[in-house]
Amino acid sequence: MATQLVKGNTAAVIGALYAGCDCYFGYPITPASEILQEASRYFPILGRKFVQAESEESAINMVYGAASAGHRVMTASSGPGISLKQEGVSYLAGAELPCVIVDIMRAGPGLGNIGPEQGDYTQVVKGGGHGNYKNIVLAPNSVQEMCDMVIQGFELAFKYRNPVVVLADGVLGQMVESLQFPEVAVMPEIDTEWAVSGTPETRNNLVSSIFLDFNQLENFNYELQEKYETIKEEEVEYEDHMTKDASIILVSYGISSRICRSAVDQARKEGIKVGLFRPKTLFPFPARELKEIAASRECTFVSVEMSNGQMLEDVRLAIECSRPTELVSRMGGNLITMDQVLEKIRKIAAEEE
């Protein structure tokens, strides 16, 4: 097994290369730019296709083009750029096209700053553009997962013909850790059932998101919802760290979840029964699993996120407000500290007694 020290943003490109992605289109934005840069460095050497687009809108529409042609295609950006891409994402979802979008979240709203944040949760997890659609959203918390979840993202994107977002943040994009390189390189094939590739086999195909007839469009929307229900049934992933006996359940994803894990380990040393529940898929959100925990015992859920309670809403919905919920958050580019999480844990533990 080959291991190297790799930056998170680079790991996403490595994942794409092994996943059989042969088209990359993007636009520079801190803190995601290394993905663009590394793609420009590696893709052409392998004859794969790279274009630095004129805008985020163009980048996502180039994605639409290559995805229409049946290819594995990726783009990446950060908050303001993701906002700009939303039109294209809605069209991709509407045309049921597969692709992987990496979001290295930064602090907003507006221009905000380039510091890490998790404030894109709502715009990514809930769809974001117009219409009744969902993205499949994967949330890595390490450089390894930056690579692995891009690969997984392509599998899911093609399995469901749906956009997949790998939702990371400035820390995960910028940090360096060991990466075990993938053992397999995917040899992609074009699905001539639906792709429009400029070939005789695909000549009769149409990629479109337009349904003039109201009932047809409604039916299509119902079909989409059925697809999302299947995804909810089949694709939920999460990581459990010491929640079995815990009366305090931290719910956290991405870089925040790593700080939480350290906090859980520390609090356990102090004898507090706390655990970490880390969603690895944000859509589908592991709602059933959280609900089971809530039903099994008295406990308090703490959403730990670098945003204003965007995920907390999903936690509350998941447990149907059956247990108390708390929020630990930082915004504006600031990281949650272990002390901040510990303080909340100790406070809840003290109230329990």
Partner 1 sequence: MEERIIASKGLYTEFSRKGGAAPTATHYCPGCGHGIIHKLMGEAMHDLGIQDRSVMISPVGCAVFAYYYFDCGNLQVAHGRAPAVGTGVSRAEDNAVVIAYQGDGDLASIGLNETIQAANRGEKMAVFFINNTVYGMTGGQMAPTTLIGERTVTCPQGRDPGYDGYPLHMCELIDNLSAPVFIERVSISDISHIRKARKAIRRALEIQRDGKGYAFVEILSTCPTNLGQNAEQSTRFVNEQMEKEFPLGNFRDLADQTEPICRADSVFKKKAIDDLFNLDTGSSPDAVLDPSFPEVQIKAAGFGGQGVLSMGLTIAHAGCVAQRFVSWYPSYGPEQRGGTSNCSVVISGESIGSPVVQESDVLVAMNRPSLEKFAADVKEGGYILYDSTIGECSIPEGVTGIAVPAIRIAGDAGSEKAANTAMLGIMLALGITGLSAQNFKAALSATFSGKPKLIPLNHVVLESAVSWANENL
Q: How far is the CB of 287 from partner 1 (least distance, A)?
A: 26
Helix, strand or coil for residue 243?
coil
Show contacts with partner 1 in window 286-345 (CB under 8 A): 335, 337-339
Among 36, 39, 66, 149, binds partner 1 (CB under 8 A): 66
Binding flag, residue 54, partner 1 (CB under 8 A): yes
Q: By CB under 8 A, is residue 64 in contact with partner 1?
A: yes
CA distance 302 to 274: 10
Interacting residues with partner 1 between 88 and 147 (CB under 8 A): 88, 91, 95, 114
What is d(CA 211, CA 264) in angstroms, rounded to the nearest whole number?
51
Q: Does residue 261 belong to the site contacting partner 1 (CB under 8 A)?
A: yes
Shortest CA distance to 262 belongs to which of 174, 171, 115, 141?
141
CA atoms of 215 and 250, how far apart (whole Å):
44
Residue number with CB closer to partner 1 (194 or 238) = 194
Contact between 274 and partner 1 per CB under 8 A: no
Nearest distance, CB of residue 49 and partner 1, angstroms: 4
242 close to 268: Cβ distance less than 8 angstroms: yes
What is the x/- site pattern for partner 1, positions 4-23, by CB under 8 A?
xx--------x--xx-x-xx
DSSP string computed for 28-76 = --TTTHHHHHHHHHHTGGGT-EEEE-SSHHHHHHHHHHHHHTT--EEEE
- Candidates 190-198, 246-254, 279-287, 303-311 — which segment interacts with partner 1 by CB under 8 A? 190-198
Under the binding rule (CB under 8 A), the answer on residue 238 touching partner 1 is no
Count residues near partner 1 (CB under 8 A).
Answer: 83
Report how far residue 221's alpha carbon sits from residue 233's, in angstroms, rounded to the nearest whole number: 18
Closer CB to partner 1, 63 or 82, in the complex: 63
The reply to whether 192 sits near partner 1 by the rule CB under 8 A is no
Instruction: Report the candidate in 59, 57, 61, 64 with the shortest Cα–Cα distance to residue 40.
Output: 59
